[in-house]
Chains A and B, each alone.
Chain A
Amino acid sequence: MGDTRHNLHRFFGGLVLDGHKSESTTLPITRLPMPDRLILPLREHIGEEDKLVVGPGDAVLKGQVLAQATDYVSAPLHAPTSGSVIDIGDYPVPHPSGLNAPCVVIQPDGDDRWIELPSQETSVEALTPEEIRRRVRRAGVVGLGGAAFPTAVKLNPGPNKPIHTLVLNGAECEPYITCDQMLMRERATEVVAGMRILMRALGAQQALIGVEDNNPSSAQALEQALADAGERDARVVSVPTRYPTGGERQLIKVLTGKEVPANGLPANIGIVCQNVATAAAVYHAVVKHFPLVSRVITVAGAGVGQPRNLEVLLGTPVADLIEFCGGYKADASRLLMGGPMMGFSLGTDQVPVIKATNCLLVQNRSEIASENGELPCIRCGECAKVCPAQLLPQQLYWYARARDLEKVQDYNLFDCIECGCCAHVCPAHIPLVQYYRYAKTEIWAMEKERRKSDLARRRHEARQLRIEQEKAEREERMRRKKEALGRVGAAEPEDPKKAAIAAAVERAKAKAAARKAGININSEQDGGA
């Protein structure tokens, strides 16, 4: 499939992995029955925590805003169904820390009643880019590929970064995950309509939809949808199946041959990359005014009864999804959110699914057996051969392990995309990515501490200065007073008030004298007449 004329390129490194895509694609996307309760973390995306606008006991309608975005890089949170807010408090959230975080808990009433939405469907051509961004922002759309970066921000690269190409990311390169594949297959028209809206918002002249060549059915569906919509500026490009082709930088390199600069964004080279599921969500947000309240999630792995794709309301507990898919098998050993390469293990299945959740993976014992036992690094260099960011994973590992946070940055730690290729090929089974994540979070914490201590220093210095100034002022006042007192005994009183009174008295006297003189003159004149 795809356009064979398109000139493809190759990114450095990467791996050919066993895809395990067929297990979860036998059944169509199914809507999960209404759960008993929904748990919605106030911080679902990169950026600040949202500001709550509902209270316990409030009745809410589907699509009603629960929490407002607090700054530019954030997105509001909406009620996924109608019901009542039964609690606001700390609950376990899907995060590698396993910590609890503030959540809104909703008990659905079963009616699934929408809040009143603007009814008219607008034609996309009539909308300005600003209006599109406004609607996308209002609907709380974030990147559904896994990073959950607010989409409206990505649609606003700034006036001096003209965008010529929109890259739609349908390269779902991580094993087991098939939610984008199923979405492209079943809802290609929505993806294409969303693509048109994204192109309009960005002013992009062309769009490239990258789909892996192990997934011809999705490519076919998209091509059909493009033809039906009469799209001439967009094409579906079949890319070789190679992990991590679905990485933003890797896909751009494969499709265009261009490299995104380190510390830069794709917008720097005139490209914006969006996930296909995000495009579909943008279509719903802009044309139908629907906020983002559900998404497609893959439940897969050898440890679960029936792997499949589900359309799930955000906030649904993970346990509900697993149960719907036939529950855990007897040899289930580990529950991951995300794929086997980049996912993180969950401490409990009571956590809810969030906007960033693309997959729930239940691994069995045999799948995780090889991970036990970290051996010493033998410096074989396999990791450097597969690193798609062309880093030196070994060096990063040594310095991260030695907690040398400066050196590890010299080796460009922050260009690491945490794809896990290095750890996958490591013959010593070293969990390399965790070392890098450790170093990254340590560096962020250090920088935060430094900023805090700089603030404390500035405030302390300002206080010191103020105290000195106050002291000097007080001394100055005392000195003046003393001087004034000293003069009382020595010379005439120099009190301005007294002087003013004296002057007024003088003036009055002079006036009286003048009047007297005037009368005299008058009388003289009278006398003279």
Chain B
Amino acid sequence: MLSAVLALSLLAGFFGLVLGYSAQRFRVEADPVVDQVDALLPQTQCGQCGFAGCRPYAEAIASGEADINQCPPGGEATIVALADLLGRDPKPLSEEHGEEKPKMVAVIRENECIGCTKCIQACPVDAILGAAKQMHTVIADECTGCELCLPPCPVDCIDMVVVETGLSEWRWPLPHSKDDFLRGEQATTDEAA
């Protein structure tokens, strides 16, 4: 009886020490959940979720302050991915935060630009190039389509343009959504023949 109690207490003490040591030795500074959530967000840094960028929103989700359906640029895909990660049920996009739109980029109407640099200061990813009293332009490849450059522009010379689908962006649809040439268009083919 005594030996059993002693053995168990010794074991408990030993494991306690090991655990205590490893808790100190292998401490993780950042919250890994925040990183995981941040990786799923589209990084537009648009602030439509009500937070100052994607990382703050990720922190809010991880701490339970914000819901997972507040990211319009990510849309349904992001909500599903977040629900999957956090083990919650997916829910529709919250209407007060905006609606899902096709991918867009900002384009400056360059002959109207007065070179005020206000949009440059607003761009969260430094995708606008220019200097004071010089024409500005958007680096399309680096623009996230966040629209944050629109409100500060004093002459409203920035347009949001939907990104066109080229051959390299085209995706195969799931079957049964495609029309074939010739099928059902027999009249025109007869003419061609």
Contacts of B193 in A (CB 8 A): 322, 327-330, 332
Q: Assuming the A-B contacts A101-B167, A328-B193, A349-B192, are A454 and B126 also in contact, with contact meaning beta carbons closer than 8 angstroms in the complex?
A: no
Question: In the complex, how many angstroms separate the beta carbon of A46 from the nearest chain B beta carbon?
Answer: 11
Report the nearest A residue to B180, measured CB to CB.
A345
B167 touches A457 (CB 8 A): no
B94 at the interface (CB under 8 A from A): no
A453 touches B167 (CB 8 A): no
Report the nearest B residue to A445, measured CB to CB.
B171
Query: In the complex, A143→B39 CA distance in Å?
Result: 39
Question: In the complex, how many angstroms separate the beta carbon of B122 from the nearest chain A beta carbon?
Answer: 11
B166 touches A101 (CB 8 A): yes
A97 touches B170 (CB 8 A): yes
Contacts of B182 in A (CB 8 A): 328, 332-335
A431 at the interface (CB under 8 A from B): yes
B167 touches A437 (CB 8 A): no
B171 touches A346 (CB 8 A): no
Identify which of B45, B54, B174, B181 contacts A435 (C-beta below 8 A). B174
Question: In the complex, how many angstroms separate the beta carbon of B70 from the nearest chain A beta carbon?
Answer: 17
Q: Assuming the A-B contacts A96-B172, A463-B125, are A334 and B190 also in contact, with contact meaning beta carbons closer than 8 angstroms in the complex?
A: no
B66 at the interface (CB under 8 A from A): no
Contacts of B180 in A (CB 8 A): 333-334, 345, 347
B24 at the interface (CB under 8 A from A): no
Question: In the complex, how many angstroms separate the beta carbon of B187 from the nearest chain A beta carbon?
Answer: 12
Query: In the complex, A442→B181 CA distance in Å?
Result: 25
Contacts of B171 in A (CB 8 A): 438, 441-442, 444-445
Identify which of A96, A335, A453, A462 contacts B181 (C-beta below 8 A). A335
Query: In the complex, A437→B173 CA distance in Å?
Result: 8
Query: In the complex, A456→B144 CA distance in Å?
Result: 7
Report the nearest B residue to A463, measured CB to CB.
B126
Within 8 A of B (CB), among A135-156: none
Query: In the complex, A332→B42 CA distance in Å?
Result: 47
B192 touches A456 (CB 8 A): no
A479 at the interface (CB under 8 A from B): no
Within 8 A of B (CB), among A442-462: 442, 444-445, 448-449, 452-457, 459-460, 462
Question: In the complex, how many angstroms separate the beta carbon of A199 from the nearest chain B beta carbon?
Answer: 35
A330 touches B190 (CB 8 A): yes
Query: In the complex, A332→B192 CA distance in Å?
Result: 11
User: What per-residue 1/0 map shows which CB atoms of A430-442 lie under 8 Å from chain B?
Assistant: 1100110110111
A95 at the interface (CB under 8 A from B): yes
Chain B interface secondary structure, helix, strand, loop or mixed? Answer: loop
Query: In the complex, A264→B137 CA distance in Å?
Result: 43
A43 at the interface (CB under 8 A from B): yes
A328 touches B190 (CB 8 A): yes
Question: In the complex, how many angstroms separate the beta carbon of B32 from the nearest chain A beta carbon?
Answer: 16
B183 at the interface (CB under 8 A from A): yes
Query: In the complex, A335→B43 CA distance in Å?
Result: 43
Identify which of B165, B183, B192 contacts A334 (C-beta below 8 A). B183
Q: Assuming the A-B contacts A99-B165, A347-B181, are A456 and B173 also in contact, with contact meaning beta carbons closer than 8 angstroms in the complex?
A: no
B181 touches A460 (CB 8 A): no
Interface size class of B (residues with CB under 8 A): 20 to 34
B169 at the interface (CB under 8 A from A): yes
Question: In the complex, how many angstroms separate the beta carbon of A177 from the nearest chain B beta carbon?
Answer: 20
A58 at the interface (CB under 8 A from B): no
Query: In the complex, A322→B190 CA distance in Å?
Result: 13
A93 at the interface (CB under 8 A from B): yes
A319 at the interface (CB under 8 A from B): yes
Identify which of B45, B170, B179, B190 contacts A99 (C-beta below 8 A). B170
Contacts of A430 in B (CB 8 A): 175
Query: In the complex, A319→B174 CA distance in Å?
Result: 29
Contacts of A444 in B (CB 8 A): 171
Question: In the complex, how many angstroms separate the beta carbon of A360 from the nearest chain B beta carbon?
Answer: 12
Within 8 A of B (CB), among A265-312: none
A459 touches B126 (CB 8 A): yes
Report the nearest A residue to B143, measured CB to CB.
A456
A374 at the interface (CB under 8 A from B): yes
B176 at the interface (CB under 8 A from A): yes
Question: In the complex, how many angstroms separate the beta carbon of B90 from the nearest chain A beta carbon?
Answer: 13
Contacts of B127 in A (CB 8 A): 459
B189 at the interface (CB under 8 A from A): yes
Contacts of B53 in A (CB 8 A): 460
Question: In the complex, how many angstroms separate the beta carbon of B193 from the nearest chain A beta carbon?
Answer: 4
Interface centre among A43, A345, A440, A442 (most CB of B within 10 A): A345
B112 at the interface (CB under 8 A from A): no
Query: In the complex, A330→B189 CA distance in Å?
Result: 8
Q: Assuming the A-B contacts A345-B180, A346-B181, A460-B45, are A332 and B172 also in contact, with contact meaning beta carbons closer than 8 angstroms in the complex?
A: no
Query: In the complex, A463→B123 CA distance in Å?
Result: 10
B167 touches A441 (CB 8 A): no
Within 8 A of B (CB), among A312-359: 319, 322, 327-330, 332-335, 345-349
Query: In the complex, A449→B127 CA distance in Å?
Result: 17
B124 at the interface (CB under 8 A from A): yes
Query: In the complex, A315→B97 CA distance in Å?
Result: 50
A–B pairs, 8, beta carbons within 8 Å: A334-B180, A334-B182, A401-B174, A434-B174, A435-B175, A441-B171, A445-B169, A459-B126
Residues of B at the A interface (CB closer than 8 Å) are: 38, 41-45, 53-54, 124-127, 142, 144, 165-167, 169-176, 179-183, 189-190, 192-193
Please name 19 further chain A to chain B contacts, defined as beta carbons within 8 Å, in addition to the given A333-B182, A457-B54, sorted by A numbering.
A93-B167, A95-B167, A322-B193, A327-B193, A328-B193, A334-B183, A430-B175, A434-B172, A435-B174, A438-B173, A438-B175, A440-B172, A441-B170, A453-B43, A455-B142, A456-B42, A456-B44, A457-B38, A459-B127
